[in-house]
Amino acid sequence: MSDASRQRAGTVVLAGRPNAGKSTLLNALAGRKLSIVTPKAQTTRHRIEGEVAGPGYRMIVTDTPGAGAAAGSRLGHFMNREAQAALGGADAAMLIVTGPRWTAGDDTSLQRLKSMGMPIVLVVNKIDRVRPRALLLPFLERCAQKHDFAAIVPVSASNAENLDVLLKEVTKLLPETRLDEGPRAVERGERFQAAEALREQLMIALSDELPYGIAVEIERFEPTLDGRTEIDAVIWVERVGQRKIVIGAKGARLKAIGQATRLALNEQFGRRIHLTTWVKVREGWSDDDRMLQRLGHDPP
């Protein structure tokens, strides 16, 4: 830094194949939950930004839908265009992979970033799962042959391991600005967070039964005089059979999902939540532009 009135500031995009840990890394860097996390691929459907700042730096870290998500549908088209827009506005990228195996999906993500011409930091995530740990070094050496990365940093996002080193390397790639300049994060409001929390619990509870043709829309989000917040949510599915899967026998599954969501939101928002849910069928919603915009997706 040339003087104390300046900093490094810019936008950094997270990229990588589905389930590489992009959302977990964003939450770890931001120090709070911004993006939902499940074991299923293609969990992230929206562009989500978080501000990460420290002495001499401030960066907007952007989590994007996985490349090729829901390919073939209008939903997939919206998601991929949103991810592409995030890449186009970034100063640098973090490519997330998981060792000790480089996949075809990693190659696809790398080629996408190389085409944008931005500096790339390779983040080798989930190092806590590499057994034995001696496998990590030869994997890092193979990674170095894939591209002239600005840096290669092994981390464990879930354990917040080595994140200080990662931030140091990424900060070097950001432009120098005045302290009052640089981009600002556009963070999602509580209404969006409530919808995502319910979708997260749906994905966790339904596991392999979950149809990708499922979405959540918040119809009412109102504070009450006694300090609670009342939320009415619609779970949209595309077929009657999917509705039965979500509801479960005698409504038991939907009740459990609703309770888990309410408890998560109580903690996240720091107040009591009253959640009412309905499951409705709308055939072809994932190919309906108006419906997708109602669900918060920016049109291509």
User: How many other CB atoms are found less than 10 A from the CB of residue 166?
Assistant: 21
**Rounded average pLDDT over 59-70:** 71
**Rounded average pLDDT over 151-168:** 96
Strands 120-125, 151-154: pairing kind: parallel
Contact yes or no for 172/142 (Cβ under 8 A): no
User: Quick one: pLDDT at residue 1?
Assistant: 44
Quickly state the pLDDT bin for 114 (edges 50, 70, 90).
Answer: very high
Second-level CATH architecture of 6-178: 3-Layer(aba) Sandwich (3.40)
**Rounded average pLDDT over 221-237:** 96
Q: Cα separation of 13 and 86, whole Å?
A: 7
3-state helix, strand, coil in the chain (%, to 5): 40, 25, 35
Q: Distance of CA 22 to CAs 158, 215, 230, 300, Å?
A: 11, 21, 31, 23
Residues of the chain with CATH 3.30.300.20: 190-294
Cα-flanking dihedrals φ and ψ of residue 85, to 5°?
-65, -40
Tokens of 79: 């998601």
Q: Cα separation of 152 and 169, whole Å?
A: 9
Tokens of 272: 């009591």
**What is the average pLDDT value for the chain, to the nearest integer?**
88
Q: Distance of CA 178 to CAs 3, 23, 210, 273, Å?
A: 10, 29, 48, 42
Of 35 and 1, more confident: 35
Q: What tens digit of pLDDT does each residue of 67-104 get? A: 544 556 788 777 777 777 777 778 999 999 998 989 99
Tell me which amino acid residue 232 is: D
Residues of the chain with CATH 3.40.50.300: 6-178
Indicate the SS3 state at residue 237: strand
Burial call 199-216: b when 16+ CB within 10 Å, e when fewer: bbbbbbbbeeebebbbbb
Say which CATH class 190-294 falls into.
alpha beta
Sign for the pseudo-dihedral over CA of 132, 133, 134, 135 = positive
Range among 113-117, 139-143, 201-205 rated most confident: 139-143
